[in-house]
Structure 1
Amino acid sequence: MPGEKETPQQVEDKSAGTEKDVKDDKPKEPEVPKGSITEAKALFHKKDSDGKYQWVTEEPLDVVDAAENEETARYAFLVRKKKSYDSRKKYDIHSIIVQSPHLKNALGIILADYPGITTNLDRLVFQAPFHPFVHRWTRLADMLEKDEFEEPVAREHLQLFRDVLFEELKNAIAAKLDLVKNGVITFEFLWTIFEPQTLVYGVSDGKECVFKLNSSSTATDQRRGLDFLQLDVWSVDFDGTKFGQHTTYLQNYEFAGTTPITSLQAFPLEFHPEKEQLIRRLVLRGKLFERFAGYHYKAYRGVALGYGRCGMIRHNIESRIIIDCEAHNRFLPNNAVYFNNLFKPSKKTNGVGEDVDEDLYDDSSDFDDDSDFLATPDSDNDAKPKHRPLTAEELLIAVPYVRGYAIKTKKWLWFYVDQVEEIQFAENAFASLVLPKEQKSLIRAFVESQVKYKDDFDDIIAGKGKGMILLLAGPPGVGKTLTSESVAEDMRVPLYM
């Protein structure tokens, strides 16, 4: 009716009708088949009023242009900074992007053989805290001091790079130099003396060992509530068919103040007070380890390691043993060992790119023919696996044990190579046997025949016909039992029982 006021619902309906008319008047785009437009449509990640993210077609208003572009590509390197919460400085360096080919060439020499770094990448990025440059700072400084650059611009780029990094690393560099000069270290700067590929000294189960360092990292022992520096190291081991890298972990737990470097559970070999004597001892032990690769019949007296529910346990062993890692893997599949291949031998270094003193490694006076046993089987092991000789450094970092079987205790154990002995055979055991001469001659002939043709004869049941037990009657009231093992033992024939 004229003059009557419209209700809110009528106003809303009318407005909706108007919007509908406008939409109807808008020209419609022609329909096209799904996925037929040759164009990429961008969708943007946007946070809504509920704090959740959705994909939308509108570009966010607060987006800025890319920082790396044609203009920034002209610079030798880019320094990405972030706000610092250290009261001594305004910014922290987050990362550095190296763009100069001259600088990449110089860094390739400075960081040669440093794990995880390839300096000839088109986009070369170094992330804070820049540990590689603390480890190789002396090399960087030496390169600048020698000034053997082909072009002046190369030295300028490296000098600028050095100046920028020094502001970020000067505390760590100064602390390392001062602490090492005094033979001590703090836990805060403990990582500075553990450069990757460094040779690390430690004691494992009472045996001195040298390892090669892959990397180090700080972690927390939740049970003890202590931080520690974990060292990822490897040594040379044998898995029954080849030599390989046996990876293990060493820990240095946090401590207050300073401590002598040589008091650490593990420390770089270069700090050992008797480095030269230690190297000679461990290289000789490594030659024993290499000699015992494969199958060997020996004697053992001392402590050996065995498998327990909560790790390795110690056994006192006095027994004849069979060294055979291949059989160990076959009979104990849950404890079988397999390793990565060793690297191809190259120029011998001390782990940080410097030439080693070959005189420290070359001490073969304890062996009659050192070169022969390194490359060929020894007398008691004609079936020894063929392998290349271990290098001097590989001998140094070889593990101190081999895996095998103790005949007396009937256990698979780890035997320390410096406690393996030759079997002391009884010289007149067979001759002292009280038997008629004809029977003894028959027994000896039978044993020699069985050993000679052990691979040619077998019983219907596989393996059953390859052993023998002789029950012999001695003098009245005396019985004598001989086995193939006891007779062959006198005849110096090792049998795998």
Structure 2
Amino acid sequence: MNYSIEEINDMKYIRFLDGKLLSIMQSYFPYEDLFRNAVLPARNLLSILNNLKNNHGPYFPDLINWVEEQYKDEIKLIQIITNNGFIEFKNLAQLFPIGQNVYIKLDGTIIGAKVIMTYYDYENFIIDLEVINSDGYSFIYEKYYTFIDFWKGLCKINKLPIIPLSKEDNIYNKLVARGKKFIKYAIGHHFLQHSHSSKYSKGRIMVDISNYKNYSLASSIFNNNCYLEYLEDIKINDDVKEEELFMCVSKLPAYSFTWKDWHFIDVEHLNEITFDNEAFDKLVLDQEKKSIIENIIKFEYSKTDIINSKGDGYTFLLHGPSGVGKTLTVEAISEKLHHPLYSISTGELGTNAKDLENNLRNIFNLAYYWNAIILIDEVDIFFECQNVHEVNHNALVCVFLRLLEYHQGIVFLTTNRGRNF
């Protein structure tokens, strides 16, 4: 026998006589000093009965049978109440055994997760959950902490902040479908359409977790919500099992080409882009010029300078008065080639050499990685006649030309004043 029953003041206690059993109990009741006293109120085992049966049944059958017999009337009452959709606070551990699938409604989004640990902490019921995230290269199983506040009496199960999830639920099927989308787009980078009417991210975006961490102030995917706190990474896998798809997080970091910023995007609102393949053909432009532009861009990049890593890119200057179609031409080219278009004006690059270099270097690096076409509008300032007394202007020009020369990609420049060139 690996335990004994003791009665103190009409209350039954269990004394654990086996090191393995003692260690298991400590994992369920971390706030009890079991290794010193090795004694626990017998009623406490009622809260972890399902966990004992599911995870340790073959090792401690006598203990499980004793608990079931000792509290059979109470267990039956709990089952009746639970089957009618209600629960008492003291019985939450039976509702959330280790391995239980659950979902949480958080910031207007449903999060699927798996229970990996539960225990009572004073007046809270603590739950440690496992969800699946990604670093852009692999899938990361993350551990999060959450809790349920104490209440008196009965509470509807579907009103709890965390709700058990069955594979027969429609919510489960929706989470699985979203999980399939998540694993499709989480690794690498993907040029997509965000269809939701979100203020800051509607339109074309680039989903790219790894570059998000490099170019943005990384924050929690759950927006630092105090209800769900990140604890640690549990493990890393190269793939996700079918039965784990519901655990994938609901958002992916993406760069908005409209707002020039990073945002977390709901996975369910991501869609493939429908390109206008005829836009370039409809462009009112001399056919010979159109062919030259198209062939140069399609041509595989090759070294054009004897200095290593210099001169692999192509720069086009489009000039003419407003309204002749300079920007439209570049947009049509990106549509035909299915490449992202990173469009920016000189005013957004900065007014001093340091800001210009930092901003332009980041843009060029991202564009190269994403195979994006860059459009820099109204570049007149960089090509105006230099004056020895205008130190800042001269520095801007030098930085711009140097970075442009070394960029290994396609850049279009536009100006209304072609005579300056």
Q: Same fold (TM over 0.5)?
A: yes
Give the 5 Å matches for 1:71-110.
76-79=1-4, 81=6, 83-84=8-9, 89=10, 91-93=11-13, 95-98=15-18
Judging by fraction of residues, say which structure has more helix.
Answer: 2
CA distance in 1, matches of 2:280, 2:17: 80
Conserved? CA contact 2:68–2:75, under 8 Å: no
Q: CA deviation at 1:459?
A: 10
Q: Does 1:259 align with 2:181?
A: no
Secondary structure at the aligned position of 2:282 is classed as coil
Q: CA deviation at 1:491?
A: 2.0
Conserved? CA contact 1:175–1:189, under 8 Å: no
Conserved? CA contact 1:80–1:96, under 8 Å: no
Conserved? CA contact 2:283–2:332, under 8 Å: no
Aligned residue identity for 1:285: R
Match of 1:431 in 2: 281
1:398 to 245, 248, 264: 248
Q: CA-to-partner distance for each residue in 1:13-52, whole Å, 9 max, x for gaps?
A: xxxxxxxxxxxxxxxxxxxxxxxxxxxxxxxxxxxxxxxx
Aligned residue identity for 1:433: L
Secondary structure at the aligned position of 2:201 is classed as strand
Q: Does 1:248 align with 2:144?
A: yes
Conserved? CA contact 1:250–1:266, under 8 Å: no
Q: 1:98 to 1:444 in 2, by over 3 A?
A: same
Q: Which runs of 5+ in 2 are unaligned?
A: 30-34, 222-229, 341-370, 375-421
Give the 5 Å matches for 1:15-414.
76-79=1-4, 81=6, 83-84=8-9, 89=10, 91-93=11-13, 95-98=15-18, 128=40, 134-136=47-49, 158-159=61-62, 162-163=65-66, 167=70, 173=75, 176-219=78-121, 227-270=123-166, 275-293=168-186, 294-302=188-196, 315-332=199-216, 334-335=218-219, 340=233, 342=235, 387-388=238-239, 390-414=240-264
2:315 to 468, 479, 496: 468
Q: CA-to-partner distance for each residue in 1:292-346, whole Å, 9 max, x for gaps?
A: 1221111112266xxxxxxxxxx553221001101011113543899736477xx
Match of 1:453 in 2: 301
Q: CA deviation at 1:421?
A: 1.6
Conserved? CA contact 1:469–1:482, under 8 Å: no
Q: 1:467 to 1:406 in 2, by over 3 A?
A: farther
Q: 1:303 to 1:325 in 2, by over 3 A?
A: farther
Q: CA deviation at 1:492?
A: 1.9
Aligned residue identity for 1:77: N
Q: CA-to-partner distance for each residue in 1:85-141, whole Å, 9 max, x for gaps?
A: xxxx1x552632138xxxx8xx8xxx9xx9779xxxxx9x97535656644459869
Q: 1:135 to 1:316 in 2, by over 3 A?
A: same
Secondary structure at the aligned position of 2:326 is classed as strand
CA distance in 2, matches of 1:77, 1:238: 43
Secondary structure at the aligned position of 1:317 is classed as coil
Conserved? CA contact 2:181–2:267, under 8 Å: yes
The two structures, once aligned, show a CA RMSD in angstroms of 4.3
Q: CA deviation at 1:468?
A: 2.9
Q: 1:208 to 1:284 in 2, by over 3 A?
A: same
Q: 1:214 to 1:278 in 2, by over 3 A?
A: same
Aligned residue identity for 1:296: H
Conserved? CA contact 2:133–2:141, under 8 Å: yes
CA distance in 2, matches of 1:326, 1:447: 27
Q: How many residues align?
A: 324
Q: CA deviation at 1:191?
A: 2.6
Q: Which has the larger radius of gyration?
A: 1
Q: 1:459 to 1:285 in 2, by over 3 A?
A: farther
CA distance in 2, matches of 1:420, 1:243: 19
Q: 1:489 to 1:219 in 2, by over 3 A?
A: farther
TM-score after normalising by structure 1: 0.54
CA distance in 2, matches of 1:289, 1:442: 40
TM-score after normalising by structure 2: 0.63
Q: CA deviation at 1:465?
A: 5.7
Q: 1:472 to 1:126 in 2, by over 3 A?
A: farther
Conserved? CA contact 1:212–1:233, under 8 Å: yes
CA distance in 2, matches of 1:477, 1:332: 35
Q: Does 1:444 align with 2:340?
A: no
Conserved? CA contact 2:103–2:162, under 8 Å: yes
